[in-house]
Amino acid sequence: MKKVCLALIAVLVLGCNAPKEVTTKQYSVNQFMDIVQINGGSFSPDESKLVYNSKATGIFNAYEIDLKTGIEKQLTASTDNAIFSQSYFPNDDRMLYTSDKGGNEINHLYVRNQDGSVIDLIQDSTAKAQFGGWSYNKKLMYYTSNSRDKKFFDLYNVQVAGGETKVYPSTLVYKNEKGLNPDVMSNDDRYIALSETITTNNSNMYLLDTQSGKLNLLSKHEGDAQYNAQYFSLDGKTLFYLTDEGSEFMYLASYDIATGEKKKVEEAPWDIMYAYLSRSGKYRVVAINNDARTEIKIYNEQDGGKLVSVEGLPEGDITGVNISDSEKLMSFYVSSSKSPSNLFVYNFDTKEVKQLTNTMTKEIDPNDLVAGEVVRFKSFDGLEIPCLLYKPKGIKEGQKVPALLWIHGGPGGQTRLNYSAALQHLVNHGYAVLAVNNRGSSGYGKTFFAADDRKHGNEDLRDCVESKKLLASLPYIDADKIGIYGGSYGGYMVMAALTFAPKEFKVGVNLFGVTNWIRTLRSIPSWWEAQRKALYTELGDPTSADSVALYAKSPLFHTDKITKPFIVLQGSNDPRVLQVESDEIVANARKNGVKVEYVIFPDEGHGFVKKENNIKASEEVLKFLDANLKGVNP
């Protein structure tokens, strides 16, 4: 591990009126990774505790925190596989969690009894499962699993009333034979809202009456439109859902089950991300994707829909809102590009806000971190491209620094103003970062989202090249020292840039990126069957004539064009981008004399979840960039 570097930029005092230079500390990756990543949040039945997930031990485990004392208790002690708590049981302190094996994404559901013993609810080792929530009467637990057919997820329920048991027999509620995925269920357990993915821009929504067995298509429409069921009214007579039918952005609408009448409930000049109703209907929570930030609105439905204002919060976005069954408490997270997520609880009666965690290490001065700034530029065809710019602190007048384009995964992802230890580490070490939300990114309307369909590795790559021009125009950027960094689909963009625009970027950083589209699309995991056709429509069908275009845009088959150094980081258990993808492009490039660094993590999947592996990844990336982009001898 690297030792802490406390190199200070000297403060020059040239006179009483001379401006002072910014003094910034430089931190090691160990310090940046010394934050505690946390997520999740579920109230105990008596609402005295919260269960959540923490990476305090270096890998995610389940913890509970006493809301009165703030005392934490670790509930699970995994040292190899990440554990993610889902919820306490409705009437006791049993806890439900999910976990896979080494990042293989074959998640199982586990019950942790109050004595600490654990029961795996999924007997088939090859089957996946996902928690589907509790019935309104708190007697049933719902989950989906592909144990019957690995291509599709059926809906099951389990009786949970009556206390602990060693056996949890399940009952099949909905047999999924057509790729219609269950989304939400009415409070009386009668109706199930189902979704069907047609393409990445088009879907359908159905309503299943479990009493009659009748299945109705609710989303008859022309053209592309998305539908996403959110919740039923308390009486089960109305379904609330999100759609972009007739709009650029997702809005909240309602469907009257008896009459079939549809109404628009709420819209914004951005996508509404989700909406839900608290248990007794007192509060409606709506989240909006507002220009790479999350905007939360909480309406008091018993007070004429009045907005609830929570005072005394630190600067940042509110996320992960969860209102307790009594509707007296609300847990949530606050985070920003300069601050990792912290867990809070709010008391609606007393108006008290209580911070439960402090996840930032005391060794880092928050003033040394950099906030992302939303910037935009017009690409080659005039399309406006949104980006997030991170400028290193302490740049002297006339100084020029190296820079990186930061490309998100997907396709269809979005880089948001969240805290990233890896990004802040690079900025702290003198690299400007421009996170590009190229065409095809979500959050900017359905036209923008669809703008890269069948054009991957071409027009979205041209957006990246144009964004390099934006960087080069900034007075503090060294235009000859600009690299490109990305993971997953962003990793593909890195290799596409080095292959198909070989003169544009000086180096590349590829984290588990696709390099052979034909193999990747043919080796899609079986449980993606419902989305397979959508992916093939967007990217191309590798079993058809589309394979010619997929071959043409796959960097692996054109490695003779690569001339610039790059580094590849890959998990051996990755079910999405197989290790062989990275093995082959590294070998081919090396045969052509290209300098390549290759780091394999045998205990990771698609993305790295272990703290020690993330530390090593960032260390190797910085070492590579310092030598090959910044030009600093190790």
Of 76-80, 160-164, 470-474, which gets the smallest average pLDDT? Answer: 160-164
pLDDT value for 164: 80
- The secondary structure of 242-280 as a DSSP string is EE-TTSSS-EEEEEETTT--EEEEE--SSEEEEEEE-TT
For 55-79, write each residue's pLDDT tens digit: 999 999 999 999 999 999 999 999 9
Q: Which residues contact 514 (CB under 8 A, 6 or more apart)?
A: 488, 489, 491, 492, 520, 554, 577, 581
Q: What is the mean pLDDT of residues 15-44?
A: 78
Q: Residue by residue, what is the 3-state secondary structure of 550-577?
A: HHHCCHHHHHHHCCCCEEEEEECCCCCC
| Three-state SS at 375 | strand
pLDDT value for 13: 27
Asked whether residue 28 is assigned to any structural domain, the reply reads no
Q: Minimal CA–CA distance to 375: which of 346, 408, 340, 417?
A: 417
Q: Which amino acid is at 193?
A: A
d(CA 146, CA 153): 4
Asked whether residue 193 is assigned to any structural domain, the reply reads no
For 343-381, write each residue's pLDDT tens digit: 999 999 999 999 999 999 999 999 999 999 999 999 999
pLDDT of 508 > 90? The answer is yes
Report how far apart, in Å, the C-alpha atoms of 350 and of each of 63, 187, 311, 343, 355 are. 26, 30, 12, 18, 15
Q: 424: domain CATH number?
A: 3.40.50.1820
pLDDT value for 11: 27
Alpha helices (H) in 390-528, listed in sequence order? 421-428, 446-449, 459-473, 489-500, 517-522
pLDDT tier at 384 (50, 70, 90 boundaries)? very high
Pairing of strands 432-436, 401-407: parallel
Q: What is the mean pLDDT of residues 587-601?
A: 97
Domain boundary residue, one of 134, 153, 174 = 174
pLDDT value for 1: 35
Cβ atoms of 493 and 460 within 8 Å: the answer is: yes
Cβ atoms of 346 and 358 within 8 Å: the answer is: no
pLDDT of 21 > 60? The answer is no
Cβ atoms of 396 and 351 within 8 Å: the answer is: no
d(CA 623, CA 620): 5
Domain span at residue 461 reads 370-516+560-628
Report the predicted TM-score, pTM, of the whole model to 2 decimal places.
0.91
pLDDT value for 444: 97
Percent of the chain with pLDDT strictly greater than 70: 96
How would you label 514-539 residue by residue, b for 16+ Cβ within 10 Å and e otherwise? bbbbbbbbeebeebebbbbebbbbbb
Distance from chain centroid for Cα 143: 22
Between 281 and 8, the higher pLDDT residue: 281
Report how far apart, in Å, the C-alpha atoms of 551 and of each of 279, 290, 574 are. 52, 37, 22
d(CA 429, CA 457): 30
Cβ atoms of 30 and 2 within 8 Å: the answer is: yes
Q: 98: domain CATH number?
A: 2.120.10.30
Strand partners, 323: 330
Residue 564: how many other CB atoms lie within 10 Å: 21
Q: Which amino acid is at 331?
A: S
In the chain, how long is the greatest CA-to-CA distance?
85
Strand partners, 207: 193, 216
For 193-210, write each residue's pLDDT tens digit: 999 999 889 999 999 999
For 418-437, write each residue's pLDDT tens digit: 999 999 999 999 999 999 99
Asked whether residue 108 is assigned to any structural domain, the reply reads yes
Strand partners, 174: 155
d(CA 579, CA 533): 24
pLDDT tier at 144 (50, 70, 90 boundaries)? very high
For 211-265, write each residue's pLDDT tens digit: 999 999 999 999 999 999 999 999 999 999 999 999 999 999 999 999 999 999 9
Helix (H) or strand (E) holding 611: helix 611-625
Asked whether residue 18 is assigned to any structural domain, the reply reads no
| Three-state SS at 368 | helix
Pairing of strands 477-487, 508-511: parallel
Asked whether residue 453 is assigned to any structural domain, the reply reads yes
Structure tokens at 198: 């047609």
Asked whether residue 489 is assigned to any structural domain, the reply reads yes
Domain boundary residue, one of 136, 159, 174 = 174
Q: How much is the mean pLDDT over the chain?
A: 92
For 532-574, write each residue's pLDDT tens digit: 888 888 889 898 999 999 999 999 999 999 999 999 999 999 9
d(CA 458, CA 8): 43
Alpha helices (H) in 13-142, listed in sequence order? 29-32
Domain boundary residue, one of 124, 155, 174 = 174
| Cβ neighbourhood burial of 147 (10 Å; 0-12, 13-18, 19+) | middle
d(CA 301, CA 315): 27
Cβ atoms of 429 and 9 within 8 Å: the answer is: no
Asked whether residue 69 is assigned to any structural domain, the reply reads yes
Alpha helices (H) in 207-248, listed in sequence order? none
pLDDT tier at 15 (50, 70, 90 boundaries)? very low
Asked whether residue 442 is assigned to any structural domain, the reply reads yes
Q: Minimal CA–CA distance to 252: which of 267, 262, 239?
A: 267
Q: Which residues contact 431 (CB under 8 A, 6 or more apart)?
A: 392, 401, 402, 403, 404, 625, 629, 630
For 580, half-sphere exposure in the C-beta direction (CA atoms, 13 angstrom radius) is 6
Q: Which residue has the tokens 């006179």?
A: 15
The DSSP symbol for 607 reads B
Q: Which amino acid is at 308?
A: V
pLDDT of 473 > 50? The answer is yes
d(CA 467, CA 40): 35
d(CA 123, CA 120): 7
d(CA 485, CA 492): 10
d(CA 43, CA 64): 9
* Count of domains forming the chain: 2
pLDDT value for 154: 96
Q: What is the mean pLDDT of residues 2-12?
A: 29
Structure tokens at 475: 């007075």
Q: What are phi and psi of 582, to 5 degrees?
A: -70, -40
| Three-state SS at 75 | coil
pLDDT of 406 > 90? The answer is yes
Percent of the chain with pLDDT strictly greater than 90: 86
pLDDT value for 634: 56
The DSSP symbol for 291 reads T
pLDDT value for 4: 33
Structure tokens at 353: 């806000």
Structure tokens at 170: 């399940």
Strand extents, DSSP E, 2-152:
38-43, 49-54, 61-66, 72-74, 83-88, 95-99, 108-112, 118-120, 129-134, 140-145
Helix axes 459-473, 489-500, angle to 10 degrees: 80
d(CA 35, CA 102): 22
Q: What is the mean pLDDT of residues 75-86?
A: 96
Cβ atoms of 108 and 116 within 8 Å: the answer is: no
